[in-house]
Structure 1
Amino acid sequence: MHAHEIPAGILPAQSGLYYGGAWHAPKAGVFAETINPTYNEVITTAPVADASDVDAAVRAAHEAFPAWAATPPVERGRYLRKAAAVLREHALPLAQLDSLNNGNPVSALAMDADFAADCLEYFAGLATEIKGETIPMGDGNFNYTVQEPLGVVARVVAYNHPLMFAAARLAAPLAAGNTVVIKAPDQSPLSILRLAELVGHIFPPGVANFLCGSRECGDAMARHPLVQKITLVGGVPTGKAVMKTAADSLKPVLLELGGKNALVAYPDADLDKLVNGIVGGMNFTWSGQSCGSTSRVFLHESIHDQILEKVIKLLPERHKPGIPTDPKTTMGSLVSAAQLEKVKRYVAIGIEDGGRLVAGGKQPADPALKDGFFFEPTVFADMKPSMRLAQEEVFGPVMSVFKWSNEDELWSAVNGVDFGLTGSIWTQNLNTAHRAAKRIHTGYVWINNSSQHFIGAPFGGVKQSGIGREECFAELLEFTYTKNVNLKF
């Protein structure tokens, strides 16, 4: 699908910034080209917010906050449900737009709007559950706590699921009575503009605000004195930059960052399911552009050779790079030229460090894909934990396979990285499963499963994989503070 073949009604009609219930041109008049990574060709332009635009959006959100905080929780829930219904209605065109702008397959993105709608409905139902407690103080005193909303919340979202992250991340802060400013990813901003068109007007002016921009925009959000909390889904370097800037005003942060996640297979694993779990866990569908990807696979020596062979055989059947907007495509492109270069660099590093390239390692030969940022599903074997490819997040379709025999050495290798987001354990023994879950140092663990998210189950990491939890009740409380009230009779 070339730029001139974009179906009618897919692109946003507006190309401004949405705040205070209205569309505004960026104050400096700057627009940046946004591309279709399938063909490396310009789709359209998107507005670039600078610090003055951020100030205007934050002030609009700040003005809307008192009335929104005073809105009864049940009514706030109604607004969220209305937004969820609109998302479901437009799920397919929204998926097509994201696919066009970030290179992920439309068939996989089709679930994103529904997942976001699920989140909106989940938090809508929890709006009345933001409860405090009474604390016994003896006669003469009545002591209780209330959870109060913070004020203006700024949320920066990632390019791999822009629509899903933006819509889902509106839910908890709005349910808790905060107003929100969302920043779109600069690589794929279009679905956020479309989201603003679809749901912005549902909420009172200033309650839900949407900006596009690059580093200056995010930096200004983290710096702004009226922003009470900043959150990010993104990479570790960006997370560190946000946290440093937020420290100047002692702003709390919620960070969902990268991962170098391990899949650990014991000798008694169900081998057929394991092979599927390994291929599925790497998220090759998204070209590995997923923070939860299990990019380090630890196979017990007794099953190592046969499983590796099966994985290499299954990969090309399951994931072949193709045009992302084609519903039959099972693996899309990387989001940008920079991301493609990064993947190529890591493949070269893997070979240099002595890894054995057993699958992929290059751009596909298909002439239909020659202009885009495509890369084959890639597997390295004979990996050592000290290698750079075994330590650093690639955010691309590159998997490292390790052979293990000693369990203590295994866990030392698994936990010997700076990350701690997810982990996947494969065994049919209940004791082994629980012991392994205890030993892995991550925020999220799958047993005989990989990649799946469950609404209501806390998602987030430890170490450099982030701070805080999302997609659960705890996310709601992330956007409140505890106020203690003591009444003397």
Structure 2
Amino acid sequence: MIDLKMYINGEWRDSSNKEKREVMNPATGEVIAEAAEGTVEEAKEAIQVAKETFESGIWSDLAPVERASYLFKIADKIDEYASELASLETMNNGKPLREASFDVADAAACFRYYAGLITKPDGVTYSVADPVQALVVREPVGVCGLIVPWNYPLLMSVWKIAPALAAGNTVVYKPSEVTPLTPVKLFEIFEEVGLPKGVANMVFGSGVTVGNEIAENHDVNLISFTGGTKTGRHIMKAATGNIKKMSLELGGKSPNIIFADADFETAVDYALFGIYAGSGQVCAAGSRILVEESIYDKFVDRFVERAKQINVGPGNDPDTEMGPLVSKEHMERVLEYIEIGKQEGARLVCGGNRMIDNDLENGYFIEPTVFADVNPSMRIVQEEIFGPVVVIEKFKDEHDAISLANSTAYGLAGAVFSNDGAKALRVTKKIRAGITWINTYHNTYNEAPWGGYKQSGVGRALGTYGLDTYQEIKQININLQVEPIGWFSK
């Protein structure tokens, strides 16, 4: 049994109340670890440590090149432990090893990206009216509260921690209580490379206790959260006490628009990848496929044919293409949505059941599921299901496709498949979403911003925009002619 401890001020700690939370393998339903159950008191302590460490300047006053050297070392260690990290991710989250291995490689690349970026010129000078020279400089925000979800335990952590540390901030980090294994290994790496004590602190616990304290605490200067929109609203309210900087990457119900002139097999293939990668537990999943009416029936038939061929099983099986859902609770939520779809009158054309054959009965597996002949008023069309469930809608023309694409409260992602480049770009520009693709899906780059419109969040991760999140911008005006201003009479 793995015993997982929190990391506060450079020390591995149990919780003050000695309580533990069981950590499961979603492919088998087995308990694989016990994690200390953090409390509000631990959260407050971690925040105080982060504040004192930031104010000491032990990290924030380092030259960017010195901070970058730590980030490069972390990246090298992630590469060194890549196999172990991927195995832990698969064991705890359930995703296939090939997906976990990609996430690990991307995590190392993300640290290297921000290590390089922080050493680049970032100031600006302005030639304003004499005798003043105006400067703009960037400074760290301070204490950053970082809360990550369970679908990408390692990668989402790195998307937040790497730019926060690069900018000179200190961190109070809360992983999902469901998937703490790779975050613990990441913090072991921090310790191994000699990251100064108090710079990065990790507290376990539930969102309603530890997460809420991080969001409310007035010594936290920034809150960055990835997760559901409902929780995001609560965090926005909690963060108003001291008007924190905020970055929220929330839910999605992303449209994948397939025109009749698209390369058919390519569109089908990417549509499968768009929804079933990560077992559909991806905020940007292409969970609404919009198909031009002239190819609608053909597309549904081919998509269902391919969906039935997906090899579902434990992530550590090299033949597995789609793994389990992350927990029993989440599996039951997705199954409830499937029942809602049936009750609403949508046509279930594939899947819809828990998988219990072939030694899968103890895991949290759901068949790749497809609903056709849906309408925009249905809950399964409007609400994020976050599982291997897709709805396929029919559209008449460009105007209809755009209208349907924008018909939900979300605006995270979207895609267009067409061999008419002008049309594809024209439609893409009309999609109210922060991340879009043409003739592809799910590509993510450390160099490019990630985030959504509408109720999919505020702010951006990754790229230079992601670094901006963790920095304050200061204007400095220098008087080059030092003499009395003479504004008032003597």
Counterpart of 1:277 in structure 2 is 270
For 1:173 and 1:145, locate their aligned partners in 2 and report how far apart those are by CA, in whole Å. Answer: 20
TM-score between the two structures when normalised by the length of structure 1: 0.95
Counterpart of 1:286 in structure 2 is 278
Q: CA deviation at 1:201?
A: 4.2
Equivalent of residue 224 in structure 1, options 212, 217, 231 = 217
Which amino acid is 1:258 matched to?
G
For 1:378 and 1:458, locate their aligned partners in 2 and report how far apart those are by CA, in whole Å. Answer: 31
For 2:445 and 2:196, locate their aligned partners in 1 and report how far apart those are by CA, in whole Å. Answer: 30
1:74-473 paired onto structure 2 within 5 Å: 74-129=65-120, 131-202=122-193, 203-215=195-207, 216-282=209-275, 284-317=276-309, 319-473=310-464
- State whether residues 321 and 330 of structure 1, in contact with CA within 8 Å, keep that contact through their aligned partners in structure 2: yes
Counterpart of 2:21 in structure 1 is 32
Which amino acid is 1:271 matched to?
F
Show CA shifts across 1:420-457 (max 9, x none).
Answer: 00101001112101111111100011000001112211
For 2:329 and 2:468, locate their aligned partners in 1 and report how far apart those are by CA, in whole Å. Answer: 37
For 1:165 and 1:406, locate their aligned partners in 2 and report how far apart those are by CA, in whole Å. Answer: 37
TM-score between the two structures when normalised by the length of structure 2: 0.95
Q: Does 1:42 align with 2:34?
A: no
For 1:385 and 1:479, locate their aligned partners in 2 and report how far apart those are by CA, in whole Å. Answer: 38
Partner SS state of residue 393, structure 2: strand
Which amino acid is 1:299 matched to?
V
Gaps of at least 5 residues in structure 2 are 481-490
Q: Does 1:22 align with 2:3?
A: no
- State whether residues 173 and 476 of structure 1, in contact with CA within 8 Å, keep that contact through their aligned partners in structure 2: yes
Show CA shifts across 1:226-269 (max 9, x none).
Answer: 11101011111111111110012211210111110000011110
Show CA shifts across 1:84-143 (max 9, x none).
Answer: 000111111111112111221122111111101111000000112362211222221111
**Over the residues paired in the alignment, what is the CA RMSD in angstroms?**
1.3
Runs of 4 or more, structure 1, over 6 Å off, are none
For 1:177 and 1:365, locate their aligned partners in 2 and report how far apart those are by CA, in whole Å. Answer: 49
For 2:147 and 2:87, locate their aligned partners in 1 and report how far apart those are by CA, in whole Å. Answer: 22
Q: CA deviation at 1:320?
A: 2.4
- State whether residues 23 and 33 of structure 2, in contact with CA within 8 Å, keep that contact through their aligned partners in structure 1: yes
Show CA shifts across 1:446-484 (max 9, x none).
Answer: 000001112211111011111111121111011111111
Counterpart of 1:8 in structure 2 is none
Which amino acid is 2:263 matched to?
D
CA 1:170–1:200: 2 relative to 1, 3 Å: farther
- State whether residues 140 and 471 of structure 2, in contact with CA within 8 Å, keep that contact through their aligned partners in structure 1: yes
Partner SS state of residue 400, structure 1: strand
For 2:440 and 2:33, locate their aligned partners in 1 and report how far apart those are by CA, in whole Å. Answer: 40
Gaps of at least 5 residues in structure 1 are 4-10
Give percent identity, aligned residues only.
37
For 1:349 and 1:320, locate their aligned partners in 2 and report how far apart those are by CA, in whole Å. Answer: 26
- State whether residues 21 and 201 of structure 1, in contact with CA within 8 Å, keep that contact through their aligned partners in structure 2: no
For 2:474 and 2:203, locate their aligned partners in 1 and report how far apart those are by CA, in whole Å. Answer: 32
- State whether residues 218 and 241 of structure 2, in contact with CA within 8 Å, keep that contact through their aligned partners in structure 1: no
CA 1:367–1:327: 2 relative to 1, 3 Å: closer
Which amino acid is 1:49 matched to?
G
CA 1:354–1:183: 2 relative to 1, 3 Å: same
Q: CA deviation at 1:63?
A: 2.0
- State whether residues 46 and 190 of structure 1, in contact with CA within 8 Å, keep that contact through their aligned partners in structure 2: no
Q: CA deviation at 1:365?
A: 4.0
CA 1:295–1:22: 2 relative to 1, 3 Å: same
Q: CA deviation at 1:199?
A: 2.1
Counterpart of 2:486 in structure 1 is none
- State whether residues 269 and 426 of structure 1, in contact with CA within 8 Å, keep that contact through their aligned partners in structure 2: yes
Q: Does 1:481 align with 2:465?
A: no
- State whether residues 105 and 285 of structure 1, in contact with CA within 8 Å, keep that contact through their aligned partners in structure 2: no
For 1:213 and 1:60, locate their aligned partners in 2 and report how far apart those are by CA, in whole Å. Answer: 18
For 2:67 and 2:77, locate their aligned partners in 1 and report how far apart those are by CA, in whole Å. Answer: 16
Which amino acid is 2:53 matched to?
A
Partner SS state of residue 110, structure 1: helix
For 1:130 and 1:309, locate their aligned partners in 2 and report how far apart those are by CA, in whole Å. Answer: 54
Show CA shifts across 1:318-371 (max 9, x none).
Answer: x22211222221111111111111111111111111110111010124140101
Partner SS state of residue 34, structure 1: strand
Q: CA deviation at 1:205?
A: 0.8
Q: CA deviation at 1:200?
A: 3.1
For 1:16 and 1:402, locate their aligned partners in 2 and report how far apart those are by CA, in whole Å. Answer: 47
Equivalent of residue 73 in structure 1, options 32, 57, 64 = 64
For 1:114 and 1:450, locate their aligned partners in 2 and report how far apart those are by CA, in whole Å. Answer: 19
- State whether residues 312 and 359 of structure 1, in contact with CA within 8 Å, keep that contact through their aligned partners in structure 2: yes
Partner SS state of residue 70, structure 1: coil
- Of the structure 1 ranges 162-171 and 111-120, higher mean CA displacement relative to structure 2 is found in 162-171
Show CA shifts across 1:3-37 (max 9, x none).
Answer: 8xxxxxxx5xx622112111122122221111111
Q: CA deviation at 1:279?
A: 0.5
Partner SS state of residue 472, structure 2: strand
What count of residue pairs does the alignment treat as equivalent? Answer: 476
Which amino acid is 2:425 matched to?
H
Which amino acid is 2:30 matched to?
E
Partner SS state of residue 242, structure 2: coil
